[in-house]
A and B are shown apart, each in its own frame.
Chain A
Amino acid sequence: MKLHLRVWRQQSRQSEGSFVTYEADGLTPNMSFLEMLDVVNDRLTKEGQEPIAFEHDCREGICGSCAMAINGEPHGPNAGATTCQVYLRSFRDGQTLTVEPWRAKAFPVIKDLVADRSAFDRIIQSGGFVSVGTGQAPDANAIPIGKGIAEKAFDAAHCIGCGACVAACRNSSAMLFVAAKVSHLGLLPQGQTERKQRVQKMVAAMDAEGFGNCSNQYACEAVCPKEISVEMIARMNRDYAGAVVDQI
């Protein structure tokens, strides 16, 4: 199997980037997309060129490192999958693939396909936690939590912080990411005490990072590898209004 690649190459944060074309040959459908890039990179190395920089670590869809748009689609063509979970059987032999880094002002490109997503960490630092110090916890079964609530909280907590939601959004909005954390903690009894403060601080941090605003088109949900529902955004909108009312 063979693919034509158009890959975004950019030397550094400051420099201009451009597309470079590579031919990838001798591929098999069972190969993963990243394994294909490995093969191309080994070839580039042998030819004395710098390999394509891209982020990856777990290669099983959980660490959230891998991040690239394939033909304008963050994480590629399949629903519910990260880039590292894309296998070449999803493409046609001879297809042209355009590979780009996440595009968003809040995620500046560092090199080639690597973007800086530290804005997400700063949002969590602003309030995405329960303030409980080590050693302060009561017995785990002292707080019964309904199975339904626990499952729903898990659905939200499953976010891997990959940033595909931002990458897919026309406005580079981070609402799905932020809402996932706000909902995860806001659903659980442990998160109630700080619920209003949390949403207030996290939204302020999100705004300060230069993400855009939600215009309710739900591209985020469609590309989210963990299929986090935009219900979480609705919930955050509600919580936020609650926090405003609380101020009054």
Chain B
Amino acid sequence: MKLDARIPAGPLAEKWTRFKANVRLVSPANKRKYEVIVVGTGLAGASAAASLAELGYQVKSFCFQDSPRRAHSIAAQGGINAAKNYQNDGDSVRRLFQDTIKGGDFRSREANVHRLAEVSVNIIDQCVAQGVPFAREYGGMLANRSFGGAQVSRTFYARGATGQQLLLGAYQALSRQIGLGKVTMMPRHEMLDLVVEEGQAKGIVTRHLVTGELKTHAADAVLLCTGGYGNAYYLSTYARGSNVTATWRAHRRGALFSNPCFTQIHPTCIPVTGEYQSKLTLMSESLRNDGRCWVPKAKGEQRAAVQIPEGERDYFLERMYPSYGNLAPRDIASRAAKRVCDEGRGVGPTGLGVYLDFSEAIGRLGEATVRERYANLFAMYHEITGESAYESPMRIFPAVHYTMGGLWVDYHLMSNIPGLFVLGEANFSDHGANRLGASALMQGLADGYFVLPYTIGDYLSQQKPRGEKTDGPAFQEAMGATQARTKKLLGVNGRKPVSEFHRKLGKTLWDTCGMSRTKKGLEEGLAILGGLREEFWKDVKVPGSGADLNQSLEKAGRVADFLELGELMCRDALEREESCGCHFREEHQTSDGECARKDAEHSYVSAWEFKGEGKSEVRHTEPLSFEELALATRSYK
């Protein structure tokens, strides 16, 4: 299969401008004849649905939560990047572009990333106009902070709840359109299948989570804005409901899945305390502005942190990466933490933890300033662990946080199935093998506010409005398949609750396809997952019926999809015989333990094709070429 990314011709910096100038348009009078389905109401989905409705399209919006405002984006803490250069510290579109490509370890598309950097500035304008209360200086101007992987201060933030404020801005814009009758909002609806009619995406199948009703919806285009799949690991910083079902079902209908093994492990999360644990809590990356990471120099250190003298501490990030220090990118910081723990120098009851110490910052800035900057995060830490980070250092450990992989899309954000667009974390497009902090919010909003509203017109202008009829064979087939699957899940009637399978899947992925990977480990992982999947369909217990609110059924469907995805993640990791960004294959490392990229063989995007039940997936590749930036070895030393 030849993958055409449809990147416009011309110099990189002019591609997006040229594209916009030449894109085919739908006339204002015709827009209302087109129906667009938007699945997901996170930053990507809410912004897209609102913007499309403002343009005049008929929009149907879906989410599985009880309200669009609760999408997982709400939980983002730290901030959003934009090349505003308000700090006059040398930032520019070009620099944001470079940082993102480099941060992603040269595994993303130049054209997409450049466009992202270009529209980043509009995002901040839009959000401020909506009333997003970003942090301000005393003079009334917007404040910035720095985030990992950048040497400029370009991150805009709203205390520790940037995602919440941005999402509420988009939610309010969406609500306005719902109030005006231009968007039909369907919360508590889970998308369970994609309808592909004559090769084009024309609808979805949903389950109403309260009544259990299965229903098909037709449209002229379908947008998946359904977020990432990090919950495959069971324990992660994701909201518990985040899932891969929407994209996985689309994948099974023919959409290619790209780079599934690219999973970001965030260095600063609260360590696991017990078997019952249901989720991991992120401590914002912004903490690394003032916190210093260290472990004892000696193995098996028993003393409390404050009793360990300065000389016996190893500030490992500052030691290994002097120029970025504690602000090294996430993949690098996480791996460094893992390495020191593997050496037996980890801290806390499990030995899986490192210190994040604020004593130096408290000494330098005073406790009041530290409190002003991080009070809510310190409070959160205290709430969960019962410990005060003002008195002794926090204990942190890496946790699964973001998935760079996702459905393959071209420059138009359209998948290989015409009419199926994928936005936000659900696509693979902009972050390569590692995402920089504060760039996911940027991408979600860029896609929804400023990219898709242009690119969708190009597609729709070539389509005849199809109308709302859902009686075609493709719809019936998808409906039948969904009914059968629901019945099957309820009918297994085994002994084990879904969570047991999910935990086992998570542990397997974490051990074999986590922060570092080996051929042997991945092969073992594949074997375990194959067995687990079989066992699931024999022994899972889903009580209740399909005709009302049944959270066990919801979970079972999601975990069934995660199980299939898990295998694909391992296969992708296995076949990428190099190390890049988050993907660290122990076989491919430099003498000092850094990633050894193999640009000649692996400078591509993998794109997996589903070949049918029981058949193995086929990998296609989209080669990446770097015209503007020279392929270089990332160095944060």
Residues of A within 8 A of B (CB): 11-12, 28, 30-32, 34-35, 38-39, 41-42, 44-46, 48-51, 53, 55-65, 80-81, 85, 87, 89, 110-111, 114, 116-118, 120-121, 124-141, 143-147, 150-151, 153-154, 157-158, 160-161, 184-185, 188, 190-191
Contacts and interface: CB of A to CB of B under 8 A. Distances in A.
A135 to B, nearest CB: 8
Contact of B541 (A46, A58, A161): A46
Nearest to A136: B129
Given A50-B544, A89-B386, A141-B86, A65 B66 contact: yes
Interface stretch (B159-167, B287-295, B568-576): B159-167
A128 B551 contact: no
Contacts of B67: 64, 117-118, 120-121, 161
B68 A157 contact: no
Contacts of A56: 240
Given A53-B551, A121-B68, A45 B129 contact: no
Interface stretch (B101-109, B277-285, B476-484): B277-285
A125 B125 contact: no
Given A28-B276, A128-B172, 17 more contacts: A30-B273, A30-B385, A45-B543, A53-B551, A58-B72, A89-B386, A111-B549, A125-B175, A134-B47, A134-B54, A135-B450, A136-B129, A138-B129, A143-B128, A147-B137, A157-B168, A188-B131
B374 to A, nearest CB: 15
Contacts of A135: 122, 126, 449-450
Contact of A129 (B65, B176, B187): B176
Contact of A146 (B140, B172, B551): B140
A139 B125 contact: yes
B181 to A, nearest CB: 10
B552 A45 contact: yes
A56 B240 CA distance: 7
Interface of B: 47, 50-51, 54, 65-70, 72, 74-75, 84, 86, 122, 124-131, 133-142, 158-159, 161, 164-165, 168, 171-173, 175-176, 178-179, 185, 187, 210, 239-241, 273-274, 276-279, 281-282, 379-380, 383-386, 449-450, 453, 495-500, 541, 543-544, 548-552
A145 B136 CA distance: 7
B129 A53 contact: no
Contact of A125 (B176, B274, B379): B176
Interface centre among A132, A147, A151 (most CB of B within 10 A): A132
A44 B142 CA distance: 52
6 contacts: A63-B74, A65-B65, A137-B126, A140-B125, A147-B137, A157-B133
B290 to A, nearest CB: 20
A129 B543 contact: no
A31 B75 CA distance: 21
A32 B497 contact: no
Contacts of A129: 130-131, 172-173, 175-176
Per CB-CB distance, the 9 closest pairs between chain A and chain B, nearest first, are A144-B140, A137-B129, A129-B172, A125-B179, A137-B125, A45-B497, A154-B133, A140-B128, A134-B51
Contact of B70 (A34, A57, A136, A140): A57
A81 B376 CA distance: 12
Contact of B131 (A35, A44, A133, A190): A190
B451 to A, nearest CB: 11
A59 B239 CA distance: 7
A160 B179 CA distance: 20
Contacts of B74: 58, 62-64, 160
A11 B543 CA distance: 13
Given A42-B499, A134-B50, A184 B128 contact: no
A141 B497 contact: no
Contact of B279 (A12, A44, A59): A59
A147 B136 contact: yes
A130 B548 CA distance: 37
Contacts of B135: 150
B239 A133 contact: no
Contact of A138 (B125, B279, B386): B125
Contacts of B164: 62, 158, 160
Contacts of B277: 35
Given A46-B541, A64-B70, A190 B136 contact: no
B525 to A, nearest CB: 25
A188 B122 CA distance: 20
Contact of B274 (A28, A126, A128, A184): A28
A59 B176 contact: no
Contact of A31 (B175, B276, B497): B276
A164 B500 CA distance: 32
Contacts of A153: 131, 133
Contact of A38 (B127, B239, B386, B499): B499
